[in-house]
Amino acid sequence: MTPTPAPVLMVQGTSSSVGKSLLVTGLCRLFADAGVRVAPFKAQNMSNNAAVTDTGGEIGRAQWVQARAARVRPRVEMNPVLLKPESNHRSQVILMGHPLATLDYRDYRQRREETWPVITAALDTLRAEHDLVIIEGAGSPAETNLRDRDVVNMAIALHAQAPVLLAGDIDRGGVFAHLYGTWALVAPEEQALIRGFILNKFRGDASLLTPAIEDLQRLTGVPTAGIVPWFPRHEIPEEDSVALETRAVDSTSAWAGIDVAVLRFPRIANFDDLDPLESEPDVRVRWVETAETWGDPDLVILPGTKSTIADLDWLRRQQLDTRLRWSIGRGAGVIGLCGGYQMLGQTLADPDHVESERDGAPGLGWLAAETVFSRGKRTTQSRAVITRDDGLLEGLRGVEVEGYEIHTGQTQAGSVAIALMDGTGLGSADETGWILGCYLHGLMHNLELRQSVLLNVARKRGKQFEPAPPRDDELAFDRLAEALRASLDLPLLERLTGIGL
């Protein structure tokens, strides 16, 4: 006899960035705390913020975080399709953790017959192996122009007959119109699946909302499942780089601590590599896009990017290479991560046109390193050891660090500063040690390395830095779960899932 598939619960939104990922993360921990074997699922994710599973598969960073909140192992079935934008119209398609092709939007839409069976099989697998699957939608289900090729919103809800919680961002204003309009635009059979509304990111007196909540239920027959408070510093990685727009910092304001300038590339990837820096009270992180906002940073970071050559061109057009040279002359440290590491080298060769239509590009020339792009892609979790003891890495020789790699291209460097445990070079530095490049994502999540680097910068630049105590990521999940417990209609969740909380 075939076992009954596990129940599902789905969170959709009235638009992007309404907080769907955070809500799913909190729900995963809420149900995990109740002893439920719960798994997250997002059929299709569009993000350059990716993570690597322990089998070497690539999934959206949000689903990796949600799995951690659920206390289960991240796996490719949790995000069977990942679209990694390379331009405004083309994305690399990752299917079940591995590259399928780079396609423009029209070509990708024609591949639905290929991707849909993989998506449904992945969900079915998770349902067979868990007690509950919490599904995250993408954007809005009310985009009627996308309905015929939908795989991530109401199409997957109908496949699984998933009860849907529809979330709106009340902090932006107009949330009741957004919720009602979304409900009104979906098909009748889809409306029937919407079983609750969530008012997310609320600040104020909730009692003032009662008349509008009653009107919304009268018009739709759908109750409000909760009013979730605003989390200004939830310490959980964001899914999309849109979140960086709320982190603008004035480069001219006085600051006694360490000033860090991070280049916000148009195709920035894995930007949560820098989240640990923002947890240090004596560190100010600024996301820089123009020469005018450069300031006088103590540390400059070139983060990862999905399109290294294109973003290197952008950097030069913005004249940020000139500002970088100026800062190096003033004694600033420089760290390049993944694509940023490749940029710091002498040359970037692209004979197979993996990165662009060109054969390559000159690098910034700060490291004795040369990169050659090829069609192969390295995705793996890695452990490494520091091999230098100067500059940014002073006092760190022999210290082990861990993280993950996601990159096309191989880099040959004249000076190894960070090596895999087998001795293979993973990063290099210049002769002073103050310019460093590395392929290891998550480098700054290593506490000893991060705080030693910052202490070295502070000593050189005469800045204030007192290391923060270690951060417990589990506490962030617990705080989020408790907030949802206090703000959501738990009896409604129990009715929708058949699981007690």
Residues assigned a catalytic role: 338, 441
Nearest to 368 by CA among 325, 418, 416, 430: 430
**Residue 295 corresponds to which tokens in the numbers above?**
């300031």
Neighbours of 243 (CB within 10 A): 14
Residue reference for tokens 């009662």: 210
Strand order in the sheet with 44-46: 44-46, 81-85, 90-95, 98-104
**Residue 489 corresponds to which tokens in the numbers above?**
């209609």
**Residue 161 corresponds to which tokens in the numbers above?**
């007959």
**Residue type at 210?**
T
Per DSSP, the three-state class of 265 is: coil
Q: Which residues have CB under 8 Å from 389's CB, separation 6+?
A: 395, 396, 397
- Count CA atoms closer than 13 A to 34's CA, side-chain side: 20
Neighbours of 466 (CB within 10 A): 12
Nearest to 54 by CA among 30, 28, 24, 78: 78
CB 45 within 8 A of CB 60: yes
* Rounded CA separation 239/260 (Å): 22
DSSP 445-467: GSHHHHHHHHHHHHHHHT----P
> Which ranges of 4-111 does DSSP label H, i.e. alpha helix?
20-33, 61-70, 105-109
- Count CA atoms closer than 13 A to 298's CA, side-chain side: 24
Q: How far apart are the first and last CA of the chain?
A: 29
> Which ranges of 462-489 does DSSP label H, i.e. alpha helix?
473-487
Per DSSP, the three-state class of 343 is: helix
Angle between helices 473-487 and 20-33 (to 10 degrees): 90
Alpha carbon 199 to its chain centroid, in Å, reads: 23
The region that residue 127 occupies, defined by phi over 0 for left and psi between -120 and 50 for alpha, beta otherwise, is alpha
**Residue 75 corresponds to which tokens in the numbers above?**
């796996």
